[in-house]
Structure 1
Amino acid sequence: MKHLIFAAGLLGATTALAEAPELTVYTYDSFVSDWGPGPQVEAAFEATCGCDLKLVGIEDGAALLARVRLEGDRTDADLVLGLDTNLMKAARDTGLFAPHAVSAEYALPVNWSDDIFVPYDWGYFAFVHSAEITPPANFRALAESDTTIVIQDPRSSTPGLGLLMWVKAAYGDEAPVIWEGLADNIVTVTKGWSEAYGLFLEGEADMVLSYTTSPAYHLIAEDDASKAAAAFDEGHYMQVEVAAKLASSDQAELADQFLAFMVSDAFQEIIPTTNWMYPAITPASGLPDGFETLITPATSLLFSPEDAAALRDLALDEWLTALSR
């Protein structure tokens, strides 16, 4: 009889699991890592949705859009999480994404209103370095110095593309000259952020392209105050990261539920100490101790999605030309 009861219970559990709807979210590798937001987000959402949340890591942010473009309407993704304002126009133009109905009061430095893309965090790009060195104060000084840097490829990485926009926003038509000067400083160009940051931590370069918030990780998670972000006097380029649902999704209601969850305290309070970015909506608990030590850029730089899309090819050509010489 005990065996029959056990078998019946096992069958019931298997049936319930099979009936649980699955929501597939394409995101970047660091999001789904053991130390990233993914595990906590998955547990918190599944506790409320009665579903199976499947987070699929696909390199870095820019690679996400390339993957979805390639798969088209045949994609397994219900949602994409990890695009940013520099990719929004290109993503919208694919026609693959559907409108949302999320309403929220965002704590972003810019006004936000978009019918397809929902922001979940934001930050400023910066070069992170050892606190023992005095970093260059701007891109010109960096180019004139012997300081070595690791950066990410703008064709596969949102930080890499953000760097192109940063230089373009700060220097406009002089951007090619800046890149010519920086070419000798670049040790290597990686596909994504994780690889670049790892090389920096291994001592392969003096600085790495990352975020003003990156030192908070070392301070809070490791009790290590040895890392800092260089404050550049021409300003810092912003990144607003966004998510959007696919029009081809057969779990549209569940995708809407996730987007609404994404702008709730349950999700937003996870972001600062896992993704190490500023939350799009300040949770009731506020920001963790340690974030007050971070630099605050004197000038915020940001192109509109339309302007970023219009400038991307030109900025990429300038970068490729400088690095090929």
Structure 2
Amino acid sequence: MLKQFLPTSLLAVLLVVLTVAACAPATTPPGTSGPAPRTLTIMTHDSFAASEAIIKQFEAANNATVKILKANDAGSALNQAILSKGNPLADVFFGVDNTFLSRALNSGIFEPYPSPLLADIPADLQLDPEFRLLPVDFGFVCLNYDKQWFADKQIPAPQTLEDLVKPAYKGLLVVENPATSSPGLAFLLASIAHFGPDSYLAWWQGLRANDVLVSDGWEDAYYTQFSGSSGKGPRPLVVSYATSPAAEVYFSEGALTTPLTGNILPAGASFRQIEFAGILKGTPNRDLAAKWIDFMLSPAFQEDIPLQMFVYPANRTARLPDLFQQFALLPETPASLPAETISQQREAWLDAWTTAVLR
């Protein structure tokens, strides 16, 4: 044994050195640059998109790995987040819009974070004074029309919601079911804002008499029933987005220099959807989650949004791509309803709509 061959004093010194060495923290192995990255999980809807370069920019700056957890549509994703309250499935949630805002806030699953980047976000987009949900982007649900169809038939495209119940437009419109579709719900809310809660059903009954077609979702309405360049169906009017013409040109990969689809943006009839992000209570990565919120509101991420998700950036300093400036004009007077009113009346409105239009 080592003790047999060492003087007592030297043995004591050696034992102290060995003890100190054993207690010292492990050094970073050669060839590594520091601690392992932390994983930040973002729970969102299936339509979320961001460029790989932007995600990597955040990861490199924060020694993090970003995991995107897609959980069906926004409503389903929010339901999952609420059911996992106290033991969150993610660190951050993105995709609550103003049609579900009150429900999300009342669930108590978000914690406040007044990001300094809010200074660059217009006040009318900031709907939560406690900063639990912060606005990231916005878009407009409106009517799209097939320019060529109307030109060939020598019929003027409708200019107002009131026009849609006229005989000239019988059998031309396809809408989405508001009970199963986000744009469908937004269009229903636009009609309520435009006509009022006491008169909107009469207008919908007029649409039913004028042979409106109701699809379960946007993809079927736009790609199957609509007659525009992206669709194959017989109907030249569809409920879609103000950015759809820009998307049409973008995804044509050079085949189109101008869209074949146009927007109809009557005053007070294009509903503005605002999407929010928030930090989920119980996250073990609170500091990193706050940095992600700041990143989503920063110009770098905001300028990536338009050609990834085809909505408008919330940050007023973010530059819009030329495609948006040419073909995704903003409606001058959008429709709007208070988030609290939507929360209180949504189910009753949906039930009344279903009875009036589908039964």
TM superposition score category, shorter chain reference: 0.7 to 0.9
Residue of structure 2 equivalent to 1:167: 191
* CA deviation vs aligned residue, 1:212-251 (integer Å, no higher than 9, x gap): 1221122344343212112224432211111111112222
2:173–2:237 Cα contact (<8 Å) kept: yes
Aligned pairs for 1:1-325 (under 5 A) are 19-31=36-48, 36-37=49-50, 39-103=52-116, 104-108=118-122, 110=124, 112=126, 114=128, 115-132=131-148, 133=150, 134-144=156-166, 145-172=169-196, 173-183=198-208, 184-190=211-217, 193-194=218-219, 196-199=221-224, 200=226, 201-204=230-233, 205-222=235-252, 223=254, 224=256, 225-283=259-317, 286-293=319-326, 294-325=328-359
Between 1:159-168 and 1:102-111, the stretch displaced more is: 102-111
**Aligned-CA RMSD value:** 2.7
- Tell me: CA distance 1:49–1:302, structure 2 relative to 1, closer, same or farther (3 Å): same
| Counterpart residue identity of residue 119, structure 2 | E
Between 1:267-276 and 1:41-50, the stretch displaced more is: 41-50
Q: CA deviation at 1:105?
A: 2.8
- Tell me: CA distance 1:306–1:187, structure 2 relative to 1, closer, same or farther (3 Å): closer
- CA distance in 2 between partners of 1:30 and 1:38 (Å): 13
- CA distance in 1 between partners of 2:65 and 2:212 (Å): 46
SS of residue paired to 1:309: helix
- CA distance in 1 between partners of 2:105 and 2:275 (Å): 15
* CA deviation vs aligned residue, 1:68-99 (integer Å, no higher than 9, x gap): 22333334122111111121100011111111
- CA distance in 1 between partners of 2:175 and 2:39 (Å): 36
* CA deviation vs aligned residue, 1:121-167 (integer Å, no higher than 9, x gap): 11221122322234322223223322444444434543232122111
* TM-score, normalised with respect to structure 1: 0.84
1:127–1:208 Cα contact (<8 Å) kept: yes
| Counterpart residue identity of residue 27, structure 1 | T
* CA deviation vs aligned residue, 1:178-227 (integer Å, no higher than 9, x gap): 2222333124122xx45543334332343332221221122344343212
| Counterpart residue identity of residue 189, structure 1 | D
- Tell me: CA distance 1:322–1:196, structure 2 relative to 1, closer, same or farther (3 Å): same
Between 1:71-80 and 1:195-204, the stretch displaced more is: 195-204
2:81–2:89 Cα contact (<8 Å) kept: no
- Tell me: CA distance 1:97–1:150, structure 2 relative to 1, closer, same or farther (3 Å): farther
| Counterpart residue identity of residue 186, structure 1 | L
Residue of structure 2 equivalent to 1:3: none
* Structure 2 runs not aligned, ≥5 long: 1-28, 151-155
* TM-score, normalised with respect to structure 2: 0.76
How many residues are treated as equivalent by the alignment? 307
- CA distance in 2 between partners of 1:146 and 1:109 (Å): 41
- CA distance in 2 between partners of 1:178 and 1:247 (Å): 43
Q: CA deviation at 1:41?
A: 4.0
- CA distance in 1 between partners of 2:84 and 2:325 (Å): 43
SS of residue paired to 2:47: helix
- Tell me: CA distance 1:44–1:178, structure 2 relative to 1, closer, same or farther (3 Å): farther
State the identity %: 28
- CA distance in 2 between partners of 1:266 and 1:288 (Å): 13
- Tell me: CA distance 1:181–1:41, structure 2 relative to 1, closer, same or farther (3 Å): farther
Segments of 4+ moved more than 6 angstroms: 11-17
- Tell me: CA distance 1:203–1:256, structure 2 relative to 1, closer, same or farther (3 Å): same
